[in-house]
Amino acid sequence: MIAEGSCRSRSLTGMTKIEISCALLASALSVFGCGSSDCPTESGTGCAPQNKRIDLYTPAFSDPTTITNPLYPISVLQSVVFTGEVDGLPFRTETTLVPETEVFDYRGRSVTTLTSQYMAFRDGRLEEVALDWFAQDDAGTVWYFGEDVADYDETGEIISTEGTWRVGRDDAPPAMIMPAQPRVGDVWLAENIAPVAWEEITVAEVDRSVPGPSGTVSGVLVGSELHLDDSREEKLFAPGYGEFSTGSLENSDLEALALAIPADAIAAPRAAELDTLAARTADIFDAAATASWPDAETAVAAADAAWTATRSAAPPRLVAEMERLLALVHAAVAARSAGDARHTAIATARIVFDLWLRHEPPAGIDRVRFDLWLAQIAVDVEAGAIGPVRGDIATLALVWNRIAHTFEAAPRSAIEGQLAQLRDAAAAGDSARAATVAADLRVTFATLGWRR
């Protein structure tokens, strides 16, 4: 669950596979051809001395999937949302613990790891997907066993798998993610297979207090993260949350935790205003489709009132996102722009259901997210852009991976058949077919998705 826009490898947009391979080879030569091999940064300097490293031991794994480390509690982090800004554009990530485990061979022994799915969206579009694998050793330290990365371009196509690595392949060792008892001055490598993936963290503080989604969070670890290009970023880890923030808005590159379940779960029933918000965003979407602008204006006013009534109870980062998006909804409805109104209604609903996540099991919210991407297909088909449609369909398949296990065999098979039809339509560039299949799927999700 490495929630990092700037920390993960960047997409090699527009490059062929041969060009990507050449770029990686050139990167390897440049890294290892200058400076000390003990410090693989571009300058060959900046790395901490070996005597500061606390990851230079061989971990033992007796119960690797029971992860109790409070600063990286991946075994209980069911659903996490980050928001922020990367390269001046809105950025969002969704991280979900999925049911599947992965077994690695480590020093002649099998180690079972937990699997976390990471999805990153820039300006509302899928940018990166990864599966990350973690295990805790007998000392209480959490180790990173690799990641399977795919970067997407604006046409919804995978353009790079740069940054992919696995323990047991290419001599990659496990990388320490969080020690059992970190202290100021401790150093470890959070990724350790340069030039594919390499990050060094030095602990600067261990007891900072910061604002969180549900109030002040204490005991926060502050790390200074060194990258291969010699750059550094501040990275925070918080008890009950794990990774909490990376970077800063000063550099137009910030990813900060907006909500995590179960840390921010609320036992009480959700406020009626949250139900109203969900219904009214759906009304805006439907009214814009038929150019029923008085109805859209009425729905916007009702959404505003419901938001005013519930705003004070919402996590701060979701407040900021909701208000940004409601302003865009107002502008789109005022301009009588059906496409923009429908697109922003979907984006606003996504935040509304983030708020629902505090009161409802994550699988139920992921079913809604699935439905919202089906709705997005309709909007993108009407805009005549097959690239975004392909991206929507790729996102659908990834969200489906989170919820497939919650369906009985017969409906699961039927939905997977329709997803296959969507993939075929995307491959053929058949937007009309994609819109028809997506509309049929929305019927299946009528009582599970946006319109409950």
What are the structural domain ranges in the chain? 17-261, 272-444
- Predicted confidence at residue 340, as pLDDT, reads 97
Cis peptide before 315 (omega within 30 of 0): no
- DSSP, collapsed to helix, strand or coil, labels residue 186 as coil
| Beta pairing class for 142-152 and 232-238 | unpaired
Per-residue pLDDT at 22: 38
DSSP 252-292: TEEEEEEEEETTT--SSPPPHHHHHHHHHHHHHHHHHHTT-
Q: Rounded to two decimals, what is the model's pTM?
A: 0.89
> Has residue 65 got a pLDDT over 60?
yes
Mean pLDDT across 227-231? 95
Q: Supply the pLDDT for residue 248.
A: 77
Res. 254 pLDDT band, cuts 50 70 90? confident
- The torsion angle over the Cα atoms of residues 343, 348, 354 and 358, rounded to 10 degrees, is -150
Per-residue model confidence (pLDDT) at position 288 = 98
Q: Is the pLDDT of residue 102 over 80?
A: yes
- Cα dihedral across residues 135, 141, 146, 151: positive or negative: positive
Average pLDDT, the chain: 91
CATH 2.40.360 correct for 17-261: yes
Predicted confidence band at 385 (pLDDT cuts at 50, 70, 90)? confident
Q: pLDDT tens across 397-434, in order? A: 999 999 999 999 999 999 999 999 999 999 999 999 99
- Residue 378's pLDDT band (cuts 50, 70, 90): very high
Tokens 């709705």 label which residue? Answer: 375
Averaged pLDDT, 351-369 = 97
Which tokens is 252 given?
């137009």
pLDDT of 106-160, one tens digit each? 999 999 999 999 999 999 999 999 999 999 999 999 999 999 999 999 888 999 9
Predicted pLDDT of residue 253: 82
Please say if the pLDDT value at position 164 is more than 70: yes
What is the average pLDDT across 341-351?
98
Please list the residues that pair with 400 across neighbouring strands: none
Which comes out higher in pLDDT, residue 12 or 441?
Answer: 441
The DSSP letter of residue 311 is G
SS3 state at 429: coil
pLDDT at 322 over 60: yes
**Residue 30: is its pLDDT beyond 80?**
no
